[in-house]
Amino acid sequence: MSDKKNLILSGFMGTGKSSVGKSVSEVLGFEFVDTDNLIENRCGKTIAKIFSEDGEKYFRELEKETLIGLPEHKIVIAAGGGIIIDQDNYNRLSGLGLIIILTASVESICRRIRNDKSRPLLSGENLNEKVRELLSQRRHVYDRISYKINTDRLSVADTCDAVIRMYRKNT
């Protein structure tokens, strides 16, 4: 498998990118990279703190910089849900490997992230409405990705299996 390209998991927050990505990387024998973790480690602060102190625009620039220099082969990348909105980021990720979008219903997303205070775009009141609005803004980008897996009724292990099947079939 040393000639295989990377596998990129993207999609909205709460769809399982990080937990599934870790499992997939173990099965494939690939390194696992989470773009949000790379940014937090580089900056020495949480994504929420970056948003509150420096703003979303700065965070998006950090995302772009993070993609530069990623290895060309044998990594599973959990790419933040908004990273592929930027056309340059999308092109870079597309060139690195197969992008699979993990999806879930608004209800599932809200149930999974309801108590997670580290999600700056979803802070405040009316979580369902904010999730719907952000999903609507990103739908045009998510819809253009050919490979999607709905995680609503899948465990992490089942999603991992589905991702690996899709990856192997398409690389």
> What would the two tokens of residue 55 be?
């703003």
- CA nearest neighbour of 27 among 159, 171, 144: 159
With tokens 């790419």, the residue in question is: 79
Predicted pLDDT of residue 128: 86
8-56 pLDDT, tens per residue?
999 998 999 999 999 999 999 999 999 999 999 999 999 989 988 999 9
Percent of all residues in the chain with a pLDDT value above 70, rounded to a whole number: 91
Specify the amino acid at residue 166: M
> How far, in Å, CA of 116 to CA of 130, rounded?
14
φ, ψ at 5 (rounded to 5°): -75, 175
pLDDT band at 171 (very low <50, low <70, confident <90, very high): confident
pLDDT at residue 91 tops 60:
yes
pLDDT at residue 119 tops 70:
no
> Quick one: average pLDDT of 103-124?
78
> How far, in Å, CA of 87 to CA of 78, rounded?
18
147-167 pLDDT, tens per residue?
999 999 999 999 999 999 999
- CA nearest neighbour of 163 among 12, 13, 22: 22
> What would the two tokens of residue 151 be?
């995680």
DSSP H/E element including 82: none
pLDDT band at 135 (very low <50, low <70, confident <90, very high): very high
Q: Is 29 left (phi over 0), alpha (psi -120 to 50) or beta?
A: left
Residue 34 β-bridge partners: 78
> What would the two tokens of residue 100 be?
């699979």
pLDDT band at 70 (very low <50, low <70, confident <90, very high): confident
pLDDT band at 2 (very low <50, low <70, confident <90, very high): very low
Contact 99/93 with Cβ under 8 angstroms? yes
- CA nearest neighbour of 158 among 16, 28, 1: 16
pLDDT at residue 3 tops 70:
no
